[in-house]
Amino acid sequence: MPIYEYKCENGHVFDVMQKLSEDPLTTCVECGAPVRKVLHPVNIAFKGSGFYSTDYKGGSQKSEPVKNGEKKEGATDKKDSSTEKTIGKQD
């Protein structure tokens, strides 16, 4: 059974254990003034992978785009021998 917090117009705050099917209280247990339920935000904890922007889905990492003229770290220059041969030939 859930515990509900109530607050009356005179400032009394009290907790009541009620079934979900029960009607909410309408009067204060201390002074008889009208009451309202006090609502609190619920704490949520996301656990596991896939909840953060730093997590990668599917295990593959996206590569960062390379700007014109810049080399990525660890990149090497590889020349394509087929383009050199066709450029070197002139009719």
Q: What is the DSSP string of 30-71?
A: TT--BEEEEP-PPP----STTSSTT--GGGPPPPPPPPTT--
Q: What is the pLDDT of residues 27-63, one digit of tens each?
A: 999 999 999 999 988 888 777 766 666 665 655 555 5
Query: Do the beta carbons of residue 45 and residue 14 sit within 8 Å?
Result: no
Q: Percent of the chain, pLDDT > 70?
A: 53
Cβ contact 17:2 at 8 Å: yes
pTM value is 0.46
